[in-house]
Amino acid sequence: MDGAELDKLSLPEYIRYIHGLPWEEFITEAFRKSGTFYVSTLYEKALEIKAKAIVELGMMIGQSTHALLKVAMENGGHLYSIETNRDSLPLVGEALKSGGLDTSFWTAIHGDDLEVVKTWVKPIDLLFVDTLHTYEQTLNELKAYSKFIVEHGIIILHDTYVEPSRLVKKAIDDWMNLNRDWTYEDITPHNDGWGLGLLKRR
């Protein structure tokens, strides 16, 4: 199926289609649709730290969910996806399962992540942030979730280049000014205009 045909699919049809693709084809289609290889970079970084306890804030059509669930399965861990769109959770879940991924390694949570964190108690190896991309939201997510990151854990944030004024990156910088024990690395893939950043403790 070529790009023009894929673009004619309804959103549910497209979600079912991409999650049924073999991994390499999934990565290729994720790039064609969004213009970024962040999905493969996210997967590689999660494998690199042998992440088991994984949390993603925001999942949309489940591109990052697919990659992180694959890591959870390979590492014998668990992925928690927190999403405000109630409709996307079962849709992505069904697509992941029909695509051959084991959703017993996945927990979908409907809600505002800043409300969910109020009762959160689990340690986190990898936190992936891809939500509203506003300054306040990003800053509050870092404040709230960073306390659960284990000693060698990491935080990855998507869309660090997004305008106006790169608000995600500004929130990261301001948070780091108050948390000097963390370092920042730009891990944006080549030819990617969205931006991907990694935070870890020194």
Helix (H) or strand (E) holding 155: strand 149-158
Lowest mean pLDDT among 31-40, 98-107, 153-162: 31-40
Average pLDDT, the chain: 94
Q: Where are the domains of the chain?
A: 3-201
Alpha-carbon dihedral 47, 53, 59, 63, rounded to 10 degrees: 20
CA–CA dist 179, 47 (Å, integer) = 26
Q: Is the pLDDT of residue 195 over 80?
A: yes
CA–CA dist 143, 122 (Å, integer) = 16
* pLDDT of res. 192: 82
Work out whether the CA dihedral 81, 85, 96, 34 comes out positive or negative.
negative
Angle between helices 23-34 and 63-75 (to 10 degrees): 150
Nearest to 75 by CA among 113, 126, 121, 30: 126
- 47-71 pLDDT, tens digit per residue, is 999 999 999 999 999 999 999 999 9
* pLDDT of res. 34: 77
* pLDDT of res. 31: 86
Q: Is the pLDDT of residue 136 over 90?
A: yes
* pLDDT of res. 36: 79
CA–CA dist 153, 81 (Å, integer) = 17
Query: Which residue matches tokens 């690199």?
Result: 48
Q: Is the pLDDT of residue 22 over 90?
A: yes
> The CATH number of 3-201 is which of 3.90.420.10, 3.40.50.150, 3.40.50.300, 1.10.150.110?
3.40.50.150
Average pLDDT over every residue of 23-29: 93
When pLDDT is cut at 50, 70 and 90, the band that residue 132 belongs to is very high
Average pLDDT over every residue of 114-141: 97
Q: The pTM is what?
A: 0.96
